[in-house]
Amino acid sequence: MEKDKKFYWKLFSSTFSLSAFTFGGGFVIIPLMRKKFVEELNWIDEQEMLDLTAIAQSSPGAIAVNASILIGYRLDGFRGALITVLGTVLPPLIILSVISLFYTAFRDSLIVGYVLRGMQAGVAAVITDVVLTMTLDILKEHRLQPVIILIAAFIAAAILNVNVILIILICGVIGALNVLLTKRSKGGVQHDAA
Amino acid sequence: MMLLKLFWSFFQIGLFSIGGGYAAMPIIQHQVVEINGWLSMIEFGDVVTISQMTPGPIAINSATFVGTRIAGLPGAIMATIGCVTPSIIIVLTLAYIYYKYRNLSVMQGVLTGLRPAVVAMIASAGLSIIVLAFWNSNPISFASTDWISVVLFAASLLILHKFKADPVWVMSGAGLIGCLAYMVL
């Protein structure tokens, strides 16, 4: 693939337009990126796109940002990653800058206030729906530990006001220990048998 | 100094919001409302709502909104850079490791432990948004309940869960119907 000005412009404009039309953030951008870079431009193959998606999902930060970093890096190393990250953050940066400048007028308008209050109920419903779906997925596993982590973490965050970062770190360590201890106990069983 | 503070706060938000999207919400709330007092809970609720109406990840939207209000355009840019820096470092490192050891079991273990915790974080943040929608920072009581909001919430949830409707349309609909209801009643 030739890396001329046209390539860089295409890389930037693709991520810019994808980011500008992905409302609400989250996973929505992944199928759009697949369509653009796999089907339309043929720059990345299907299997690799799946790998990149998995990495983007399991890393901290916004999925749209993570996925664009990976695509840029895959196509043109660190420079490519900088170009795609710029393309991804510019649309929200521009739009929110404008809104925050007019925020006071925006907020003090009675009509806007009513719409925002109505939408807030809608947003609360969307978040509740996401939580319900994710909780049901965890219950379907029929394993006790994730349910205990879920309830304990909820109590810690919502009622005891424990620092959320601390909760995340502790749960990550529990997950890692789980794997390490399972491995060791398997080793132990073999030892006993011998 | 303020710019550095913005950078550091949003660096932490970028670093610890695992799972993307709604998972970032409680961490942003913690940094922006509770630790630094840059926004009130009502303003934070507005940022969440505006984020849903506009394109882009909620963390970047909040970074721009808070940054602009605290230190103008340089603030917005600094907060946004802070927000994506951990992603750049970690994602690229992880990509390297991933291609080398694809089935790293400890990595999978960590992610397995994190998943229910992330759901709990989202639930906790969702709860504070529900309280805000129903009682609008009034003390919680039967008399102060915003019944329009409760009805909108229940109807939206039903439509979302039963018909798998597009969240953007549900939120816009709730905004429009809510606006009419508040004007008439």
pLDDT per residue as tens, chain B (185 positions): 889 999 999 999 998 887 666 778 888 999 999 999 999 998 898 888 887 777 788 889 899 999 998 899 999 999 999 999 999 999 988 887 766 765 667 777 877 787 788 788 778 878 888 888 898 777 888 888 899 999 999 999 999 888 877 777 888 899 899 999 999 88
Residue A113 and residue A163 in one domain: no
- Please give the pLDDT value at position A193: 38
Residue B28 and residue B95 in one domain: yes
Q: Does B35 touch chain A (CB under 8 A)?
A: no
Q: DSSP letter at A117?
A: H
- Please give the pLDDT value at position A23: 61
* pLDDT tens digits, one per residue of A93-127: 998 888 888 877 776 778 878 887 888 888 888 88
- Please give the pLDDT value at position B151: 95
Residue B92 and residue B57 in one domain: yes
Number of domains in chain A: 2
Residue A49 within a domain: yes
Residue B95 and residue B122 in one domain: no
Residue A133 within a domain: no
Residue B91 and residue B114 in one domain: no
Number of domains in chain B: 2
ipTM above 0.85, yes or no: no
Residue B123 and residue B176 in one domain: yes
Residue A71 and residue A23 in one domain: yes
Residue A131 within a domain: no
Domain boundary among B100, B121, B149: B100
Residue A11 within a domain: yes
Domain boundary among B60, B83, B100: B100
**Nearest-5° angle of CA B40, CA B45, CA B51?**
125
How far is CA A8 from its chain centroid?
25
CA atoms of B166 and B154, how far apart (whole Å): 16
| CB nearest B57 (choices: A20, A62, A116) | A62
The reply to whether residue A171 touches residue B116, judged by beta carbons under 8 angstroms, is yes
Q: Which amino acid would we find at residue A40?
A: E
The reply to whether residue A58 touches residue B94, judged by beta carbons under 8 angstroms, is yes
- Please give the pLDDT value at position B11: 95
Q: Does A147 touch chain B (CB under 8 A)?
A: yes
Q: Two tokens at A11? A: 């890389």
Q: A38 phi and psi, to 5 degrees?
A: -95, -55
CA atoms of B58 and B67, how far apart (whole Å): 14
Domain boundary among B100, B118, B136: B100
Residue B4 and residue B89 in one domain: yes
The CA-atom distances, in angstroms, between A78 and each of B21, B89, B111 are 25, 11, 26
What is the rounded end-to-end Cα distance, in angstroms, of chain B? 48
Residue B94 and residue B152 in one domain: no
CB of B80 closer than 8 Å to CB of B7: no
Range of the structural domain that residue A176 is part of: 144-194
Residue B20 and residue B91 in one domain: yes
CB of A32 closer than 8 Å to CB of A22: yes
Q: Which residues of B touch A103 (CB under 8 A)?
A: 46, 65, 69
Residue A117 and residue A148 in one domain: no
Can you say whether residue A127 is alpha, beta or left, with left for phi > 0 and alpha for psi between -120 and 50 degrees? alpha
| Number of continuous H segments (helices) and E segments (strands) in chain B | 7, 0
Residue A132 within a domain: no
- Please give the pLDDT value at position B79: 95
- Please give the pLDDT value at position A192: 40
Residue A55 within a domain: yes
The reply to whether residue B112 touches residue A60, judged by beta carbons under 8 angstroms, is no
- Please give the pLDDT value at position B155: 95
Q: Two tokens at A86? A: 């710029």
CA atoms of A59 and A66, how far apart (whole Å): 7
A-B contacts (CB, under 8 Å): 351
Residue B127 and residue B90 in one domain: no
The reply to whether residue B118 touches residue A168, judged by beta carbons under 8 angstroms, is yes
DSSP for B86-142, please give it. Answer: HHHHHHHHHHHHHHH-TT-HHHHHHHHHHHHHHHHHHHHHHHHHHHHHHHTTS---S
Residue A13 and residue A85 in one domain: yes
The reply to whether residue A25 touches residue B95, judged by beta carbons under 8 angstroms, is no
Residue A83 and residue A168 in one domain: no
Residue A105 and residue A150 in one domain: no
Residue B128 and residue B52 in one domain: no
- Please give the pLDDT value at position B54: 75
Range of the structural domain that residue B22 is part of: 1-100
Mean pLDDT of successive 10-residue stretches along chain A, which has 194 residues = 82 90 64 81 82 77 90 90 94 88 76 84 84 86 90 91 80 87 64 39
- Please give the pLDDT value at position A188: 46
